[in-house]
Amino acid sequence: MYPDLYILRHGETTWNLQGRYQGRKDSPLTEKGRSQALIQRALLNGLDNLPSKVFVSPLGRVIETARLAVTLGDQPVIDERLQELSFGSWEGSLREDIARNIHMSSTDRSWAFNSPDGETFDMIATRVQEFLDDLDQPAIIVTHGITSIVLRGLWLGLDQAKMLELSTDQGCIYHLSNGTEKIMR
């Protein structure tokens, strides 16, 4: 069993707003994204006995979210394994254009693992599993949409299909404890 986790997805970015795949590329938080991070901050500040360990993706949108949302004394640990799924040559492209070109529903997330030159499900699951296996205490984790669902899904013991049904909302916290997930809003 894994330790308790508080997982935050970065706030809305300009590319989220435009419907673009970001992957390993970055775009800045919008005003709404900064507000979402401040909502996460209020949620965390309302809790007792928060973990002191904070892990973040190295991408700017996550680092900015963490700076706004997490007020603990410990410096966040940047961990490459928490980066977003690499979408390869799709990065920067509009979701609707990709969906139209590959004839898939834009709500079906499974095709994201088949992008040209990008990461497969097995690749992201392996790096996220290694991160989970290294955790030895409860933690706050600030990461991305797809990385979050893989992380939460592995923690919950879900298969890929069930993971892809998990929420990727921004401005909330996913609390994993006692084998269950609770979404804090």
**From 64, 84, 91, 119, active-site residue:** 84
Q: Is the separation of the CB atoms in 4 and 51 below 8 Å?
A: yes
How many Å apart are CA 141 and CA 101, to the nearest integer? 34
Classify residue 3 by its DSSP letter.
P
E-strand stretches of 25-169: 54-56, 77-78, 139-143
Q: Are strands 54-56 and 139-143 parallel, antiparallel or unpaired?
A: parallel
Known active-site residue 103: no
How many Å apart are CA 147 and CA 57, to the nearest integer? 10
12 Cβ neighbours under 8 A, 6+ residues apart: 29, 30, 32, 33, 36, 170
**From 10, 12, 64, 144, active-site residue:** 10
From first CA to last CA, the distance across the chain in angstroms is: 25
Known active-site residue 84: yes
Residues annotated as part of the active site: 10, 84
